[in-house]
Amino acid sequence: MTEQRLIERPESAEEVAALVRRAQQDSRMITVVSGGHGPWSHVDNAEDMRLELGALADIRIDGTRVSIGGGATWGAVASTLGEAGLAISSGDTSSVGVGGLTLGGGIGWMVRAWGLAVDQLVGAQVVTAAGEIVDVDADTHPDLFWALRGGGGNFGIVTRFDFEAHRLPGIVFGEYTFSEDSTSVLRALREILRNAPRELTVTFMDVPAMDPSAPAGASVHAVWAGGDVDALRAVMAPVAALDGVTEKLTTPAYRDILMEMPAPEGGAEAAGPPGFIGGNGLFAELDDETIDRLVRFRAAHPASIIFLRSLGGAFGDVAQDATAFPARTATWFVMAGAFDIPGLVDDDARASIRAEWQEIERNRLAEYGNFADSERPDAVPGMFAEAAYARLRDVKAQWDPKNLFRRNHNIAV
């Protein structure tokens, strides 16, 4: 009979600390789950202690300072903050956990206006591998605080995140749909973003039919951090003027632009992520060669997806050594790959997809760990700048010398 994994649902930092001490005594690894979207959310290992942090979901506002439990999801955060006229740059999906996204960096809709989620992090409460509870910020345990800002879940369990939120009286959301070749749209976006106001962040997505939240086809979405519809219309005019492009502008609440992706029946842990062949990268620029390769890739593979998000602006204001996150000179995030669907993708197609992605990724500055969907120890150094990786190893050796927290993109001592 297969041994059942141990699942714990702590309701306080003190309970988390007690469970960590127990895991150490029992020589168990720990898997930490908040939103349930990461690859380790689906690990079914009887040797693990699985900590589901969903009960740690309090959201407290004091002026613009916001304290958020490590098990909260971004949808709940956006709703609560929206009532106070505030927002934090976060991910795109309401059910994504605050913990995983923030610790990996956090590229969101306001990345050009406010930077990454970690750029708004000003403090945290952490349960260490020794089962102790510590508060960290730029002055208290500064090395650990630095490592949390982009180094992943390697250093402890964050039971509370403290953010400095932003006033957001409104946003404008632009949707641009088209059925023609994507090359001209991508080149127009590139030129717009070279000198665009930082209030603008855009995504480009071209996908096969997946679910109602992501209908098939190519589209551009643009967010303007402010309520000025004419400002977004003016800056996006070169895209709207292209043949076959349809523009739709709305003024939703921030919460309403986060995608809804319900967990599969039986909970998020009931089914693993679909097989995916491809990868992602942070790119210094979106040159013609990269655009052409992406467009050819999508056309050649029916089960493929390409996704891009603009960077720069506030993202690039942060000094490279200020956080663990890599490639602050990047101006675009790019993902390309294909779903490994039996009957649609054969061995020849898999080999072709891998080879084409390798050509695309040659110009990337680094890989973004939050979009890396599997455990690949050899790839971890490529998720950080060289100096940052060395520093992260030192912090790991201090705070988790036995590598208790290794169900992640693991930084080995």
Residue 306 pLDDT > 60, yes or no? Answer: yes
For the chain, give the longest Cα–Cα distance: 65
* 400 and 333 co-located in one domain: no
In total, how many domains does the chain have? Answer: 2
Strands (E), 144-245: 157-164, 166-167, 172-178, 200-207, 217-224
Residue with tokens 């060395």: 390
Handedness of CA 259, 264, 266, 268 (dihedral sign): negative
Q: For residue 186, what pLDDT is reported?
A: 98
Report the distance separating Cα 158 and Cα 161, nearest Å: 7
The range of the structural domain enclosing residue 25 comes to 1-169+375-405
Predicted local confidence at residue 134, as pLDDT: 98
Q: What's the average model confidence in pLDDT over 168-176?
A: 97
In a domain, 231, yes or no: yes
Average pLDDT over residues 251-267: 74
How many Cβ atoms sit within 10 Å of the Cβ of residue 380? Answer: 21
Residue 236 has pLDDT above 60, yes or no: yes
Are 394 and 356 contained in the same domain?
no
CB 388 within 8 A of CB 357: no
The stretch 217-246 carries a mean pLDDT of 97
Task: Give the torsion sign (CA, 399, 405, 406, 408).
Answer: negative
Alpha-carbon separation of residue 123 from 135, 138, 139, 142, 305 (angstroms)? 7, 7, 10, 10, 36
Query: Do 367 and 379 belong together in one domain?
Result: no
* In a domain? residue 222: yes
Q: Which pLDDT band, with edges at 50, 70 and 90, does 213 fall under?
A: low
**Lowest-confidence region among 26-40, 171-185, 255-269, 314-328:** 255-269
Q: What confidence tens digit (pLDDT) does each residue in 310-343 have?
A: 999 999 999 999 999 999 999 999 999 998 888 7
Q: Please count the residues of the chain.
A: 413
Do 155 and 180 belong together in one domain?
Answer: no
The CATH number linked to 266 is 3.40.462.20
HSE-CB at 241 with a 13 A cutoff on CA atoms is: 9
CB crowding 89-121: b at 16 or more within 10 Å, else e:
bbbbbbbbbbbbbbbbbbbbbbbbbbbbbbbbb
By the 8 A CB rule, do 237 and 264 touch? no
CA–CA–CA angle 126, 130, 131 (5° rounding): 60
Q: Are residues 158 and 306 in the same domain?
A: no
CA distance 5 to 8: 10
Q: Does residue 346 have a pLDDT over 50?
A: yes
Measured between alpha carbons, how far is 50 from 407 in angstroms, rounded to an integer?
10
Which pLDDT tens digit goes with each residue over 90-106?
A: 888 999 999 999 999 99
Q: Let me know whether 364 and 388 are in one domain.
A: no
- What percent of the chain lies above the pLDDT cut of 90? 82
Q: What pLDDT does residue 272 have?
A: 44
pLDDT-based confidence at 224, cuts 50/70/90?
Answer: very high
Asked if residue 54 and residue 31 are part of one domain, the reply reads yes
* pLDDT score of 78 more than 80: yes
Quick check: helix, strand or coil at residue 211? strand
Q: How far is CA 206 from the centre of its chain?
A: 19
CATH number at residue 165: 3.30.465.10
DSSP H helical segments within 225-287, as ranges? 229-235, 237-240
Is the pLDDT score of 398 beyond 70? yes
pLDDT for residue 269: 41
Q: How far, in Å, CA of 283 to CA of 155, rounded?
A: 28
Rounded CA-CA distance 117/209 in Å is 30
In a domain, 410, yes or no: no
pLDDT for 142: 98
Same domain, 67 and 134: yes
pLDDT value for 375: 79
